[in-house]
Structure 1
Amino acid sequence: MALQQLNAFPRDKSGIQAASSPSGVTHVRHRHTERFTVVGNHLAQHRELSLLAKGLGLYIQSLPDGVEIGIKALAARCVEGEVAIASALRELEAHGYLSRTKERLASGRWVTRTVSYDMPLALIPQQQQQQRQQQQPPKKPRAVPKREAVETVETLEAVEAVASEPVAEAPSLPAPGHPDLARHRTAAEILAGLRRHDPRLLLGELDIRRLAPAVAAWLERGIEPLAVQRTLTALLPQEDIARPAGLIAHRLTHLLPPPLPAAPVKPRVVPLQNCDHCDRAYRSHTEGLCPGCEAEQGPGGPGAPGRV
C-alpha cells in the first residue's frame, strides 16, 4: 500500500482562480471607491493608437480641469521626452480625443486652448453630441487689438500662429537688389530641402519659384544658407501646418535682417622715403629731399633731384 504524500497541496492555494486556458491573462479585480478614473475600452483597446498615446490619453483624462498639459509641462512630469510626447498628442488629436486651438488675447498674446474628450464626438450618438456641445462653455469672441498692439507683438510667437489658420499673404516679398543665377539656385535648394527638417514644410514648385527671390535677398545680405534654413525651421508650431508657404513667406518678410553697414575705409599709408641729401627717412609719395633739406637748400639747391 503506497504512502500518502503529505507535502503536496490538494488544491491551488494562490488565491487566484485558474483560467480556463493555461495561457492568457488572469485578472484580479478590486473595487475602487476613491482615486479612480473611468476610461472607455475604445481608448484602451484602440487599434490605431500607439501604447504611448493610449497611456498619455489615460493620464490626461485622470487630471482635474485647469492642469497644464503642454509638451514641456508633460515632459517635466513624465519619463518620455518632448518629441515622443508631441507625437502622442498629435495621435490623440487626430482620433478626436484632444482638440487644440490657437486664440489671441486682447493683449496680443497667443495662447493654446486644449479640450480633452473622454469619448470622441464621432462615437457619440447625435442626440448626445448636441447635449454635450450645449454643456461646453461658449468661446469668447476674439478681441481685435489696436494697430499699435499688432506692431508690438510681431515676434516669433505671433509668426507661429499663421501656420494653423488662414492668413493674408505678405504685401510684398523681399527681392534681391542685384539678381544672380547662382544665388537664386541656392535659394531654391534651401526651400526644397526644408521638408528634410520637417515633413510639414513640403513646398510645391510654384511656391518655391515665388519664394526663391526672397531667400536670394537674404543671401545677398550676407546671410549664410545654413542660417536661413535655421530661421525658417526654428520654433515651429506643434499642430499641423495648413499653409507652409504662408508661414515661410511671413518669416522671410518680417524677419529679414538689415544690410550690413559699409566697412570703414582704411586711410592710405604714406610710404617712407630716404632723403637724397641727409639719408634720413621721411614720408612722401615721391623721392627727393626731406622737408628740412628742401627748406635749407631751396628748390634749386645742389641736393635737389636732377642736379649732379
Structure 2
Amino acid sequence: MDTQQNTALTRALAEVPGPLPTRGVIHITIPHTDRFTVVGNHLAQHPDLSCTAVGLAVRIQSLPQGTEISIKALAARCREGEKRIAAALHELEAHGYLQRFLHRLPGKKVATRTVFCNQPAELLRPRRQMPAPVPIPVSVPIPVPAQPQPQPQTRAHPQARAQAQAQPSAQPPAHAPKSDPEPAPDPNPAPEPEQAPAPPLPPASLPVPPPPPPPPFVPLVPPPTAPKPPRPPLPQPSELTAELDRAATALLSDLRRHAPQFTLSEDDIRQLAPAVATWLERDAHPDTIRRTLTDDLPQPLRHPVKLLKHRLTALLPPPLPGARDLVVPARPRIVVTPFQTCDDCDRAFRSPTPGHCRDCREIREYRGEDVRVAA
C-alpha cells in the first residue's frame, strides 16, 4: 500500500514563502489569536541554560500573576522531579531571570517573594528620564462681529416707474451708472439677534493637570500568607459503641490492601475511626465507604490522611429516613351520604338510613302518625 499523505501539511508547506530548505527544520508559522506568551530568543537560545531551565522559564512566564512557583508547586504541574526543578531554578537565578528576596510582614513575620523577569539585561541599563509634560495650548474662540443683513428690496409699480422717468431730474454724469431707487423702509423691522458673551480667556500660566494615577493592583489569587478558613470538624456519631468502633478500625486498617497509599498509623486510625463510625451508623455499606475513600485518587498522593479527612467530611451521606417518613400521607376521606327512597311518596332524598322525606315527616307529625326519622 502507498503511504498516506497529509493533505493539510502539504497545503501548509505550499503556503510557506520562498523556496524550502533542502535540510534542517522547516517552520510553518501560524499567528496566534489567543492564549500565547511572547518569549525572547535570548531565553529560547540561551547558550548557558539547559533545556529544562528554558522550558521551566517559559512555563513560569506563561502563568498568571500571583501563581505559586515553589519547587513543590512546580513539581505538581510538571513531570520533572523536585531535584531537577530545583537545579533549573538555580540556573535561572544565576543568570538573573529569577530573583528571591525577603519581605517583612506586619507582626514580625518574614515571607520569601519570588520575582521573574523576562529580560534581565534591561534591568542593568540606566532608566531613561521621562520628559516633563508640555502644556497643551488651549484654543479660545474669538468673537466675530455680526454683519448687517441686507434688507429686502421692494419692486416699484410699473405705472409709478413710468411717471418717475417722465419727470425732469438732474442728469448724472455719462460715466456714472444709473442707480436703482431706494427701497421703502420696513415699518416693522426685525430685531437683531443678541450676541452671546465671549468666554473669559484662561490665564497663560495655567498648568495642565497631570493624569490620575492608575488604580492599585489587586491580585485575583490570594497570597500564600493570607489566612485560610478553618477546616470543618470530623463527623462524630451520636453514640460510639464498641461494635461501631471495631468495625470502623477494621475498615481503616484494611484500606492498604486496596490502595497501598493508605498505609495508616495507629494514631491516624484512632483519629479517623469516629468519622467512619458515623458513616456506619447511617447504614452505609463498608464496600461503599471503601470505594468512596479509594477511588479517583490524585497523582501523586502526598497527604493521604488529609484526603481521608476531606472525603469523610464532605461526602458524608444523610441518615436514612424511618419507616414513618416513607409512608405517603393519606388523603382526607370524603363521606358521601347515599340516596334513599321515601316510603310514602317514593321521592329520593339523602339519608344514611331508609325512612320518610322531610315533607312526609311533617305531614305525619301533623296527623299524629308514627314517623320514621332518618338518622
The normalised TM-score by structure 2 is 0.33
Q: Which has the higher helix share?
A: 1
Q: Greater relative contact order (Cα 8 A, min sep 6): structure 1 or 2?
A: 1
The normalised TM-score by structure 1 is 0.39
